[in-house]
Amino acid sequence: MAILLVPGFMADETLWDDMVPALARFGPVVHADLRHDTSVEAMARRVLAAAPPTFLLVGFSMGGYVARAIARQAPDRVRALVLMSTSTRGDTAALQKRKGAIGNAAPSIAFSGLSCTAIATSLHPKQRDNDALIERIRAMGMRLGGEVFRRQSLLDRPGDLERSGEIRCPTLVVAAENDQLRSLAEAQEMAAAIPGATLAVIEDTGHMIPIEAPQRLLDVIVPWLAAQAEG
C-alpha cells in the first residue's frame, strides 16, 4: 500500500524528510505536486492522475483541503486519511484582503521568499528564534519560487464543512496545541463532522508539526495508520 503525502502552502516534499523513513513501512511514499493549479479541486485531480490505484492519504495545512477533495473525488481509492494542522473553514476577510493585495501586485516584482517574521509566527514560541528551523521552512518557499507563491496565495479555499459527510474512509484529525494559524476549535469541528473521525492533539508544538515535532507526530499517526492498513 502506498502512502501519499500532500504538503501545505509553499512547502515541498522536504516537509516530510524527518518522517519518510518511518512512513515507508507502509509502502512506497508518493509526494503530491501542488505547484501548477489554481483551485483545490484541480489540485486534487492532478494528484489523483499521478497517484497509485489505492493509498493511505496524509494532508498538511493547505494540503488538508486538497486531501479532502481527493477523498471526495475518489472515495474507493483512499484507504485512510490523516488531516493535520488544517480546517474546513473558508478564507477569512483578512485573508481575502491579503489575496487581493497579492493579486494587484505587479507580477514582475521579484520573489524574495517568505519573511522570517511570518514563518516564526507559525512556530511554537520556543522555536521562534530557531534560525535553522526558520531557514529550512524558508528554503522550501525559495525552491518553489515566485510563480507558485502567487498561485498558491491566490488559491480560493472554500469552506467544506457541510461536505464532511462525503468522506467515508477512516480519518484521523491531528491538531497542534500551540497552533497560531489553525485553532483547536477548527480541528474539533472537523473531527465532529467527518463520520467516525478521531482527534489527536500534539502538545508543545506550533503549526509546522512535521518539522517541529516529527517524532511525536509519528508516535500518533503510525500506530493509527498501521491499524487501518491491517483492517
Residue 107 clears pLDDT 60, i.e. is over it: no
- The pTM of this model reads 0.93
Tell me, yes or no, whether 143 lies in a domain.
no
Cell (9 digits) for 153: 496565495
Domain count of the fold of the chain: 1
10: left (phi over 0), alpha (psi -120 to 50) or beta: left
Tell me, yes or no, whether 114 lies in a domain.
no
The tens digit of pLDDT for each residue in 10-42 reads: 999 999 999 999 999 999 999 999 999 999 999
Tell me, yes or no, whether 145 lies in a domain.
no
Tell me, yes or no, whether 215 lies in a domain.
yes
Q: State which residues form the domain around 86.
A: 2-92+151-230
Q: What is the CATH number of the domain that holds 7?
A: 3.40.50.1820
Tell me, yes or no, whether 189 lies in a domain.
yes
29: left (phi over 0), alpha (psi -120 to 50) or beta: beta
The tens digit of pLDDT for each residue in 132-178 reads: 999 999 999 999 998 999 899 889 888 999 999 999 999 999 999 99
Tell me, yes or no, whether 214 lies in a domain.
yes
Tell me, yes or no, whether 178 lies in a domain.
yes
Tell me, yes or no, whether 14 lies in a domain.
yes
